Amino acid sequence: MAQYSRISGSVGLITLKSPPVNALSAVVRQGIVDTVEKALSDPKVKSVVICGQNGIFCGGADIKEFAGNMSGPPLVPIIHAIEAANKPMVAAIEGIALGGGLELALGCHYRVAHAKARLGLPEVTLGLLPAAGGSQRLPRLIGVPAALDLITTGRHVTAAEALQLGIVDQVTDHKTVDVAVKLALSVAGKPLDARRISTYLCPPLSALDPLFEEVMQKVRQRARGAIAPIACVQAVRAAAALPYAQGMEREKELMATLFTSGQARALQYSFFAQRAVSKWSTPSGARWDTSTPRPVHKVAVIGLGTMGRGIAVALAQAGLSVVTVEPQEKQLMEAKQAVSGMLERGAKKRGVAPPLNNITYNSNIQAVADVDLVIEAVFEDMALKKKVFQQLSVVCKPGTFLCTNTSALDVDQLASQTRTPELVVGMHFFAPANVMKLLEVVYGPRSSPQALATAMQLGKKIGKVSVAVGNCRGFVGNRMLKPYIEQAFFLLEEGATPELVDRALEEFGFSMGIFKVSDLSGLDVGWRVRKGDGLAEPRATGQSARIREGRRYSPLGDLLCEQGRFGQKTGRGWYQYSKPGGREPSSDPWFHSFLKEYRAKHGLVPRAIDHQEVLERCLYALINEGFRILEDGIAAGPEDIDVIYLFGYGWPSYRGGPMFYAGMVGLPKVLDRLEHYYQAHPDVPYLQPCTLLRRLVASGSPPVHKWREVIKKLHSQL
Ligand SMILES: CC/C=C\CC(=O)SCCNC(=O)CCNC(=O)[C@H](O)C(C)(C)COP(=O)(O)OP(=O)(O)OC[C@H]1O[C@@H](n2cnc3c(N)ncnc32)[C@H](O)[C@@H]1OP(=O)(O)O
């Protein structure tokens, strides 16, 4: 709703009231229509201030409404009426003015912002464009280049930057509404024509066409298949080229295409999925709202390899006190230098002082005696990690949470090395840990709700999107990756090339195909794991070389490793590079003839494989494992899996994550294709459709937000 009052004798005050962010729901829009009418028809009112309750101006359109039939008055005519008003309208911006919220403010004649406010047009992140006049007014106000930057990235700006750009007229440290009322009193009765942004021409620019071409090219590259950023450029171009009314028509037209697109649905799903994962629950009944985290001020990081360094940086940047331990003096000194460099570069980017003093460097594990929480990040070796946990159990003060950064190992085995298994959880960071947003927080069967809640809270504090997951080999992300990689290997055996597989995946929207990723992260990583599992041992030639434990196995990755081809670091892998450490992959004739010989040796007759088969085999196998994870209760819901893939594995955001994507493709189709491929490859268990997928299809393939009900039923029957 919107509340109306008259203050200081002649100022009408309209307050948006719709917690938590005063989104422009149908009720709020109707409230604005009613209160604006009241203010304009009251002869005692000479000017009007619009603000939001609880220190928040407005978070934009109510995103929840997009999924249903929109009702209530539309926003565009409301903003037109405000701009056309014959009394000065002043926006008092506290907290945030985002999307429709900023568009509402741009319809006002004046804007005052609190110094701590943030403003932006983030519609592009929801698969939309600012279609309440934002794409037409912003370039007229601040010029085409700055508007393009804000609208195509959706980034928020501070009040100071907004002032510098000319988005707001005034920034204040005092009570924003008081300052806005003062301004409203001072401008009452003054002419308004020059304050109506829709009447402006965009500030002139020479070479407008080349500018748009250059921007479009950049945006296309960055968007990798996303349609909203392209539409944003087209809308701003209309602002630059057309009169306002025609520009608005173009804005409407472009929005209509975006609004009904699958991409917008996916991005809006992902917005709510991100928020849903913070409301975690476990099969044993622990929940986010009944578990109290303990405050964490001092954290230890054990092991200063690549992961440990990134974790230490992320913690220090969030203002935590960090105690690092690396037993070898030489490695410790090298790490100190590297970490300091990372902190300095990060601080320079943010324009702050580097938090160098937040970190201490130690070679003795006794240094962690008084920390609140430890993150073990030593080499991925169970025996070594067990030893560290035994030591921690002795050294740490009672009550210290003990976390491991393992990416796949059994968290419960580590917990059993300590006297306090209830205080042990996994905190699986993704490399580079100071950059990547994802954190899998892994609870074992004995982890206490408080330990889980504390790790989740710490994740949030350091800016991570944290997802609580159960304990199993590879947890959620890496467990699903296994069938995906396996299919890619099989496709090579059957006739595909790394180039073909990668192209198909990149056209789907991944920034890098699986073989390029493998070269980047190092083929030896998977080789070590397979060797540990007793899989990667050289076998006899013939069929037995391609069967392990009764299932199909491809030794291709092992064979490359035996040749010392570890990927980028050795200059050779699935591709070749100009030198060891080179970054630019190019097709490798050696690999192609090796593959040819390999196929001949194993009696494999290559066949033509198209992009569709690559996508279906790789992605549906991954999705099938996602369903198994839900079936096993390792992830609480599809949102958890999707958020993990969006933030940790480069899944294209406009496809909403693998489980949402399965729903978009249609669960019956996914089931049908898996059945087809399983029939063709009965020695590949990952292709066998799992029970939950069958159950969902049998229940009429409900939309993704209804899957939890089917999962619950399935669990109750097991
Ligand atoms: C013609 C079309 C016109 C206009 C188009 C638009 O305006 S599209 C919408 C543009 N606005 C946005 O994209 C803002 C989205 N929201 C955010 O970025 C953040 O929520 C925000 C506002 C910066 C606040 O962040 P914070 O971390 O403080 O809180 P959180 O994100 O957890 O949000 C709190 C709850 O508010 C719900 N919510 C936020 N924004 C909206 C919204 N625009 N519509 C509906 N609901 C919104 C969010 O889901 C959280 O709900 P909860 O139930 O507590 O999980």
Distance CA 453, CA 298 (A): 17
Residue 705 lies in a domain: yes
Contact 571, 581 (CB under 8 A): yes
Q: Residue 442 belongs to what H/E stretch?
A: strand 438-443
Residue to mutate, 21, 24, 269, ligand 1, most ligand atoms under 8 Å from C-beta: 21
User: How remote is the CA of residue 21 from the centroid of ligand 1, in Å?
Assistant: 7
- Residues above pLDDT 90, as percent of the chain: 94
pLDDT classification of 69: cutoffs 50, 70, 90? confident
Q: CA-CA distances (angstroms) from residue 387 to 6, 238, 332, 375, 413?
A: 70, 65, 20, 14, 12
- Closest residue by Cα to residue 701 from 669, 674, 667: 667
- What pLDDT is attached to residue 649? 95
Of the listed 94, 103, 326, 613, which one is catalytic? 103
Same domain, 16 and 135: yes
- What pLDDT is attached to residue 539? 60
Distance CA 11, CA 213 (A): 47
pLDDT mean over 636-649: 97
Same domain, 240 and 386: no
Whether residue 180 has pLDDT greater than 60: yes
Task: Count structural domains, the chain.
Answer: 4
Q: Is any atom of ligand 1 closer than 6 Å to the C-beta of 639? A: no
Residue 523 lies in a domain: yes
For the chain, the residue count is 718
pLDDT mean over 415-444: 96
Q: Is any atom of ligand 1 closer than 6 Å to the C-beta of 21? A: yes
- What pLDDT is attached to residue 532? 83
Same domain, 591 and 638: no
- What pLDDT is attached to residue 75? 97
Atom in ligand 1 nearest the alpha carbon of residue 61: 7
User: Nearest residue CA, atom 34 of ligand 1?
Assistant: 20
Q: Residue 691 belongs to what H/E stretch?
A: helix 691-698
- What pLDDT is attached to residue 283? 93
User: How remote is the CA of residue 225 from the centroid of ligand 1, in Å?
Assistant: 25
Q: Is any atom of ligand 1 closer than 6 Å to the C-beta of 146? A: no
Same domain, 555 and 631: no
Residue 650 lies in a domain: yes
Contact 187, 88 (CB under 8 A): yes
User: How remote is the CA of residue 128 from the centroid of ligand 1, in Å?
Assistant: 14
Q: Is any atom of ligand 1 closer than 6 Å to the C-beta of 134? A: no
Atom in ligand 1 nearest the alpha carbon of residue 101: 7
Residue 303 lies in a domain: yes
CATH number at residue 507: 1.10.1040.10
Identify the bridge partners of residue 48 per DSSP, sorted by sequence position.
12, 89
Contact 495, 608 (CB under 8 A): yes
pLDDT tens digits for 313-372? Answer: 999 999 999 999 999 999 999 999 999 999 999 999 999 999 999 999 999 999 999 999
Q: Is any atom of ligand 1 closer than 6 Å to the C-beta of 354? A: no
Same domain, 527 and 641: no
User: How remote is the CA of residue 69 from the centroid of ligand 1, in Å?
Assistant: 19
User: How remote is the CA of residue 421 from the centroid of ligand 1, in Å?
Assistant: 38
Contact 109, 192 (CB under 8 A): yes
User: Nearest residue CA, atom 31 of ligand 1?
Assistant: 275
Same domain, 67 and 157: yes
User: Nearest residue CA, atom 15 of ligand 1?
Assistant: 59
User: How remote is the CA of residue 268 from the centroid of ligand 1, in Å?
Assistant: 10
pLDDT tens digits for 83-119? Answer: 999 999 999 999 999 999 999 999 999 999 999 999 9
Atom in ligand 1 nearest the alpha carbon of residue 64: 45
- What pLDDT is attached to residue 550? 85
User: How remote is the CA of residue 479 from the centroid of ligand 1, in Å?
Assistant: 32
Atom in ligand 1 nearest the alpha carbon of residue 98: 11
Residue 225 lies in a domain: yes
- What pLDDT is attached to residue 538? 62
pLDDT tens digits for 525-557? Answer: 889 888 888 888 766 555 578 888 889 999 999
Beta 118-120 vs 89-93: how paired, if at all?
unpaired
User: How remote is the CA of residue 59 from the centroid of ligand 1, in Å?
Assistant: 6
Q: Is any atom of ligand 1 closer than 6 Å to the C-beta of 251? A: no
Alpha helices of 85-133 — where are they, by DSSP H?
A: 100-107
Whether residue 700 has pLDDT greater than 70: yes
Instruction: Give catalytic status of residue 613 as yes or no.
Output: no
- What pLDDT is attached to residue 545? 80
Q: Is any atom of ligand 1 closer than 6 Å to the C-beta of 122? A: yes
Structure tokens at 508: 């789907």
Q: Which residues contact 472 (CB under 8 A, 6 or more apart)?
A: 479, 629, 632, 634
Structure tokens at 481: 């990756």
- What pLDDT is attached to residue 549? 83
Q: Is any atom of ligand 1 closer than 6 Å to the C-beta of 96? A: yes
Same domain, 341 and 445: yes
- What pLDDT is attached to residue 543? 53
SS3 44: coil
Q: Locate tokens 């009570």: which residue?
A: 175
Identify the bridge partners of residue 5 per DSSP, sorted by sequence position.
13
- What pLDDT is attached to residue 206? 86
Q: Is 381 left (phi over 0), alpha (psi -120 to 50) or beta?
A: beta
Same domain, 524 and 381: no
Q: Which residues contact 423 (CB under 8 A, 6 or more apart)?
A: 399, 400, 401, 402, 447, 448, 451
Contact 468, 280 (CB under 8 A): yes
Query: Among the three residues 601, 623, 648, which one is the final residue of a domain in this structure?
Result: 601
pLDDT mean over 174-183: 98
Residue 268 lies in a domain: no
Q: CA-CA distances (angstroms) from residue 208 to 141, 212, 234, 246?
A: 17, 6, 13, 19
Give the chain's mean pLDDT: 96
Distance CA 312, CA 301 (A): 6
Q: Residue 547 belongs to what H/E stretch?
A: strand 547-548
pLDDT tens digits for 116-147? Answer: 999 999 999 999 999 999 999 999 999 999 99
Same domain, 448 and 554: no
Same domain, 462 and 552: no
pLDDT classification of 388: cutoffs 50, 70, 90? very high
Structure tokens at 630: 């839900």
Residue 606 lies in a domain: no
Structure tokens at 550: 């009764």
- What pLDDT is attached to residue 624? 98
pLDDT mean over 401-426: 96
Q: Is any atom of ligand 1 closer than 6 Å to the C-beta of 398? A: no
CATH number at residue 320: 3.40.50.720
Instruction: Give catalytic status of residue 123 as yes or no.
Output: yes
Q: Is any atom of ligand 1 closer than 6 Å to the C-beta of 75? A: yes
Q: Is any atom of ligand 1 closer than 6 Å to the C-beta of 275? A: yes
Q: Which domain holds residue 570?
A: 496-601
Whether residue 617 has pLDDT greater than 90: yes
Residue to mutate, 22, 24, 58, 63, ligand 1, most ligand atoms under 8 Å from C-beta: 63
Residue 644 lies in a domain: yes
Contact 120, 150 (CB under 8 A): yes
Query: Among the three residues 601, 625, 647, which one is the final residue of a domain in this structure?
Result: 601
Q: Does residue 658 have a cis peptide bond before it, meaning omega lies within 30 degrees of 0? A: no
For residues 337, 338, 339, 344, the Cα torsion angle rounded to the nearest 10 degrees is 90
pLDDT tens digits for 467-476? Answer: 999 999 999 9
Q: Is any atom of ligand 1 closer than 6 Å to the C-beta of 126? A: yes
Contact 577, 571 (CB under 8 A): yes
CATH number at residue 29: 3.90.226.10
The predicted model scores a pTM of 0.95
Distance CA 300, CA 365 (A): 10
Query: Among the three residues 578, 601, 624, which one is the final residue of a domain in this structure?
Result: 601
pLDDT tens digits for 569-592? Answer: 999 999 999 999 999 999 999 999
Q: Is any atom of ligand 1 closer than 6 Å to the C-beta of 61? A: yes
Same domain, 594 and 616: no
- Closest residue by Cα to residue 268 from 661, 654, 638: 654
Contact 98, 58 (CB under 8 A): yes
Cα end-to-end distance, the chain, whole Å = 47
User: How remote is the CA of residue 63 from the centroid of ligand 1, in Å?
Assistant: 7
Of the listed 83, 94, 123, 631, which one is catalytic? 123
User: How remote is the CA of residue 363 from the centroid of ligand 1, in Å?
Assistant: 46
pLDDT mean over 42-46: 97
Q: Is any atom of ligand 1 closer than 6 Å to the C-beta of 410? A: no
Q: CA-CA distances (angstroms) from residue 559 to 60, 446, 511, 517, 588?
A: 55, 40, 27, 18, 16
Same domain, 629 and 653: yes
